[in-house]
Every structure is written in structure tokens, then in C-alpha cells.
Chain A
Amino acid sequence: MSKKFYLPVAAILLFAGAGVVCSICSILGPKIINPLDRNLSSIDREIFFFIRLPRVCVGFLVGMGLATAGSILQSILRNPLADPFILGISSGASLFAVLALFLSNTFFILPVLPLFAFIGAITVSATVCLWSWREGTLHPEKLLLVGIGLSFFLQSLLMLLLNFIPSDTIRRASMWISGDISSADWELIPYAGFLIFLGMSVALLKTKAIQAMMLGDEIALGLGVNVHRERLFLIIAMSLMTAAAVSLSGIIGFIGLIIPHLARFLFRKIFSSHSYPPCLRSLLLLPFTAFVGGIFLTFADLVGRTILSPMEIPAGIITSLIGAPYFLYLLRKKNGNLSIF
């Protein structure tokens, strides 16, 4: 297969896979609903199209966005602990989202929410990067500490802001703190979906730069990569995805950190370097990570709303319950070092 077909084929496979996963997860649940059934009651139809399907789509989009954002961050900052939540980027996005909600009593236009979240995310990313910038280079270890510090500060601001919010919007606002996809509806999905795919496209076009940067800025420069410019592009792409994910579901912390590692581990098992050429492997890793993130959150949510029905367990709890032990198992393995690409 010629090289130029790799990307379109990968994209088609990703979309097809996402479609299959979303359909299966919408059909399954406490009660199996087959949307093709002609005798479907109107209540079931309502549940399928306006509760389950948007919820599954939100789950997939958020999982995808956060996993990709985490993966990009870990690579370009050369730090396996980097993730939008730890660096305070999610907190920044949710703070601005709540701010938008706060102001929205007077004027409320929906796209404002992801836009505000994006402004929050990009402000925090820029602050974190500038703060850990010394003598022309980024210090990854410092960056993490700056991010953690800033994250605490932003969360306190968020709590403070919640005190001033009118009680009717407080339920929606509290979503941005706890992270929840159960109240998903179709309203925001097109906007957030667009942002996530925009971010993904930028990241895919910059795969070479991401790969070069993980060898260190000096080597990347020698490979013809304009390090500072590419890093800026990638941080914008990552902020777009984080902002979109946060405006859909609030802060879900686990996915951005763990899924990239899980995905890389699975990727090495499935696409071994013996049988796949280097250029295909480097191109496929990001879409694969996105796909794993999407599947993971969607299935976690499916489990959460099914096993103890009618009670619901939030998806964030299930992801941690399944993912954390598996992650710890990976770390114990012989070659289980954390990798950044």
C-alpha cells in the first residue's frame, strides 16, 4: 500500500470503529433497545435517541480528546506524568466554563461555552509553559510542579465562584468539578466534536514534529523541526481538545494520564516493528490512542449504568477501578517502563 493512503485508510477505520462501538453501546444497557425494531415504543425510542446515543457519543468524544491531549503533552514535554488534568489545563477550562455559565444569565449563546473553556485551557497552558521557561528551553520537571500548583489555585477559584452562582445553575456547574457524562444531550456535541477533530487533525499533521521533539529540542532542530513554533501549534491543538472534552463532561482526570500509556503498550503488542514499516507505525499511534480512549470511556460508562441498574455509577469511578489496577500491573512488568511515545 502506498504511503499516501495510510492516513485516509486509518481515518476511515477509526470512524467505522467509533460508529460500531457507539452503536453497540447505545443498544446495550439495563434494557436492550433495538432501534431497528418496528414495534419500538415511543418511550424506548426517546431513550435511545435522546439519552443513550448522545451519552455514548459524549463518552467517545471525551475519551478520544483527553487521551490524545494527554499523549501529545507527554511527548512534547517529554514527561510521562504530563496530562491536561495534572497540569491544571482542565481546571482552567472548567473555571472559564463555569464563568461562562455565570455570565450566561444575561446572554447565553451555546457555542460560548466551548469557546470560554478553550480560552481557559490556552491561558493555563501558556502560563505553565512560560513559567517553566528558562534560558531558551522548557524544563519538563519544573513544568509539572508549576502545573500542579496552578491547578490547586484554579480549583480554589472555582469553589469560590460556585458560592456566587444562583442555585438553579449550580447543578450544571457542579458537573465541571466532578466530571459526569450522564447528563449529556445533543446541544454541545457538534461544537465540541468539531473542536476535537480539529485538534486531532493538527496533531496528525504534526506527527513528525511530535516524534522529533521527544528526542530533545536540539536533535529535533537538527531534523528541520522549528521546535518552538511546532510546540505552540501542538499546545493549541491540545488545548482545543481539552476544552472540548471539559465543556462536554467536566473534569475527568484519569483518562489523559493513563490511556496514552495503556494505548502505547497495546500498540506495541499489535503493531510490532517487525511487521509494520516505521512511517506507518508513527502515523497510527495517535489515532490508535484516541480510539482506545474513546472505547475505554464508553465501555466504562456502559458498565456503570448497567451493573447496578437502576442505580448509576459515574464513568470516572469505573475507569479508575478498571484502569488503575491494570496500569499498576503494567508498571510491574519487566519492560513496563513508562514511555512517552
Chain B
Amino acid sequence: MEIYQYFKKGIFTKSTFVKEAAKEAAITTSTSTPTPTATPTIKIENLCFAYKQNQKKIFTDLNLKIYPAKLIALLGANGSGKSTLLKLIARILRPSSGNVLIDQMPLSHYHIHELAAKISYYPQSVEQNLSMLSISVEELVAMGAYSHSKDLNKKLFIPTRNSVIQMVGLEEKRHHPLATLSGGEQRRAFLAMFLHKGSRILLLDEPLANLDIKYQIELFHILHKLATVEHFTIVTAIHDLNIAKEMDQVLLLHQGKIIANGDPEKVLSKENLNSAFELTGLIN
């Protein structure tokens, strides 16, 4: 099978998304958002990391700059370090050496509440925990305010609970228990919580996995709007080349190294994918 044909054709075309987003941008220009600057939001300097001291290093001397107002895809084979990289940026894991800088300040200098106001991380296995919870969508979103404190709130623009629930399109289900929602709706509920938290960097580990096309498009749409209109920095670890093609930037990871970084058209070349996914010999 010609795998490239599959993703080149695409299920949805970029133009529709961009047009839609542009349309919405014209409507919602009133929201106060900072203008994107040339300073990177996330800067990674000489990052080294291994899960255990004697084990093989997952990252050696990784350097990376991520600029604001971008929707970024982290692409790579299983075990290439996508999730680990997201966890390192979210300070769930601590690097063995090297630095991660958020808004030009090292990650280790942030107080846990300050960091919560900056970064939101969505791990892969959240859904497992949800079946046992009886909290409603609104209660989940309200939990976003846990990290708020008076002096932090003055600096940040924090959207209200109602507005974020509206933004992700869950008004009608706001009182429904989280466990009764579909996978796509649950993820949108979490997104609403992150927005209510006030963080402008979203690190999402496979946000679109196991969703049907409708939910994928809905969620992608929201993410795209956040990046283009609200100038959020969104880094997603994904597997779907189709979706990667629609993103602003693609980072191709292979065994802890970034082998390509840039526009989707350039990065998703046959040669790059061959080496990232070790496909040589499997397809023509």
C-alpha cells in the first residue's frame, strides 16, 4: 500500500480549517491577547534524561525552541521519547542535566502554583480514572481554579467557568457526570478546565487518539482556534499523519533526537518518515 498517498489525500483539507479559523478570528478579535514575539515560549537547552541512572539515556543534548501561537505536532515511533519530552516540559519528570526554560526562566525556578498557571499537561491514561468519578463537567472545570491565588490572578486573564464551557461546546452537558460522556467530550471537558486554569501552554499527549472523525475534527478545530486566535502554544504528541499535516509545525523524533523540524510539508517527506518510523523495506 502506498502509505504516503493516504496521508497526502487527507480526510480533511487544510484550507477548510484555515478558512474557518480566519472567519472566527474576525469575529472574536475583541479578546485581549498578547502579540506573538520572537522570544521562544519553551526553550530546551542541552537536555539529557534517563529514567534510571544506569539505564540508556532517552535524550542526549537535546536543543529546541518553541515559539508562541503555534499548534505543534510531536511525531515519532513508539518509544521515540514523545511522552517523555512532554513530561519533562511539564516538570513531571526532572532532567538528568540541561535546562528547560519557560518564558526565559528555568523550570526549576517556578513555584508549583506559578507553573500550574503557565502549563497544562494532559497525560495519556486519564480516561482510566474517570469511570470511578461521579463529578460533573462543571465541577471538573471548577477544579481549574484550584491553582489560582490572588496575586497570580491579577497578572493573568482568566476566562470564567461559563465562557470556557461554552467555548468547548458542553453547555448542555455541564451537569452530566464525567463518566457518562464520550471520549471526545471528556477531553473537551479537560480542555475547558485547562482554559479556566489560565495556562497558555498546553502539552497534550495523544489528545486525538481513539476518537472518531467527528470528535477529532471538533477537538482539532478548538485547538487550532486557541493557537491562531488566542495565541496559545500547543504541543501535541500524535500518531496520525493526516492530522500532523494540518498543524503549524511538526517535530519528528527518532530515538530521542529531533530529525526534522518545521513546516508539515517539508518535514513529512518520504525520506524523513522512512528514517523516523524505520519503514525501509515495509513499503515501496
Hey, which bits of chain A sit against chain B, CB under 8 A?
Answer: 78, 80, 135, 208, 211-212, 214-216, 218-219, 221-226, 264, 268, 272-274, 278-279, 281-282, 335, 337-341
A214-B133 in contact given A219-B126, A224-B147 (Cβ < 8 Å)? yes
Question: Cβ of A223 and Cβ of B123 under 8 Å apart?
Answer: no
Find chain A residues with CB under 8 A from B190 CB. 219
The closest CB in chain B to the CB of A223 belongs to B146
Question: Cβ of B139 and Cβ of A216 under 8 Å apart?
Answer: no
Q: Mark B134-155, 1 if CB is under 8 A from A, else 0.
A: 1110111011101100000000
The closest CB in chain A to the CB of B115 belongs to A224
Residue B112 CB within 8 A of the other chain: yes
Question: Cβ of A216 and Cβ of B142 under 8 Å apart?
Answer: no
Question: Cβ of A279 and Cβ of B142 under 8 Å apart?
Answer: yes
Q: Mark B109-121, 1 if CB is under 8 A from A, else 0.
A: 0001101110111
Question: Cβ of B197 and Cβ of A216 under 8 Å apart?
Answer: no
Report the 7 A-B pairs with minimum CB-CB distance, sorted nearest first: A224-B147, A224-B116, A278-B142, A278-B139, A273-B136, A339-B134, A224-B113
Find chain A residues with CB under 8 A from B135 CB. 211, 341
A222: contacting residue among B121, B132, B136, CB under 8 A: B121
Find chain A residues with CB under 8 A from B146 CB. 208, 211-212, 223-225
Residue B129 CB within 8 A of the other chain: yes
A215: contacting residue among B92, B115, B126, B134, CB under 8 A: B126
Residue B260 CB within 8 A of the other chain: no
Find chain A residues with CB under 8 A from B113 CB. 224
A222-B116 in contact given A273-B139, A278-B139, A279-B142 (Cβ < 8 Å)? yes
The closest CB in chain B to the CB of A281 belongs to B139
Question: Cβ of A223 and Cβ of B144 under 8 Å apart?
Answer: yes
Cα-based distance from A212 to B145 in the complex (angstroms):
11
Residue B168 CB within 8 A of the other chain: no
Since A212-B143, A273-B136 are in contact, a sample of 10 more A-B pairs with Cβ atoms closer than 8 Å, ordered by chain A residue number, is A215-B129, A215-B143, A216-B125, A219-B190, A221-B91, A221-B121, A223-B197, A273-B139, A281-B139, A337-B132
B119: contacting residue among A208, A216, A222, A225, CB under 8 A: A222
A340-B133 in contact given A211-B143, A278-B138 (Cβ < 8 Å)? yes
A341: contacting residue among B92, B134, B142, B175, CB under 8 A: B134
The closest CB in chain B to the CB of A273 belongs to B136
Hey, which bits of chain B sit against chain A, CB under 8 A?
Answer: 51, 87, 90-92, 112-113, 115-117, 119-123, 125-126, 129, 131-136, 138-140, 142-144, 146-147, 175, 179-180, 190, 197
A273: contacting residue among B91, B126, B138, CB under 8 A: B138
A337-B92 in contact given A223-B146, A224-B112 (Cβ < 8 Å)? no
Cα-based distance from A216 to B127 in the complex (angstroms):
10
Cα-based distance from A281 to B134 in the complex (angstroms):
12
The closest CB in chain A to the CB of B128 belongs to A216
Find chain A residues with CB under 8 A from B142 CB. 278-279, 282
A78: contacting residue among B90, B129, B180, B197, CB under 8 A: B129
The closest CB in chain B to the CB of A275 belongs to B175
Question: Cβ of B143 and Cβ of A223 under 8 Å apart?
Answer: yes
Find chain A residues with CB under 8 A from B144 CB. 223
Question: Cβ of A282 and Cβ of B139 under 8 Å apart?
Answer: yes
Question: Cβ of B133 and Cβ of A341 under 8 Å apart?
Answer: yes
**Distance between A275 CB and nearest chain B CB, rounded to angstroms:** 10
Find chain B residues with CB under 8 A from A264 CB. 134
Find chain A residues with CB under 8 A from B143 CB. 208, 211-212, 215, 223
A216-B179 in contact given A223-B144, A281-B139 (Cβ < 8 Å)? no
Find chain A residues with CB under 8 A from B117 CB. 224
Cα-based distance from A341 to B123 in the complex (angstroms):
21
**Distance between B83 CB and nearest chain A CB, rounded to angstroms:** 11
Cα-based distance from A281 to B147 in the complex (angstroms):
19
Please name 8 pairs of A and B residues whose Cβ atoms are closer than 8 Å in the assembled complex, sorted by A: A208-B146, A212-B146, A215-B140, A216-B123, A216-B125, A219-B126, A222-B121, A224-B146
**Distance between A133 CB and nearest chain B CB, rounded to angstroms:** 15
- The CB with the most chain B CB atoms within 10 A, among A278, A335, A337, A339, is that of A278
Cα-based distance from A228 to B246 in the complex (angstroms):
39
**Distance between B71 CB and nearest chain A CB, rounded to angstroms:** 20
**Distance between A260 CB and nearest chain B CB, rounded to angstroms:** 12
A337-B123 in contact given A223-B146, A224-B146, A274-B175 (Cβ < 8 Å)? no
Question: Cβ of A221 and Cβ of B92 under 8 Å apart?
Answer: yes
Question: Cβ of B129 and Cβ of A216 under 8 Å apart?
Answer: yes
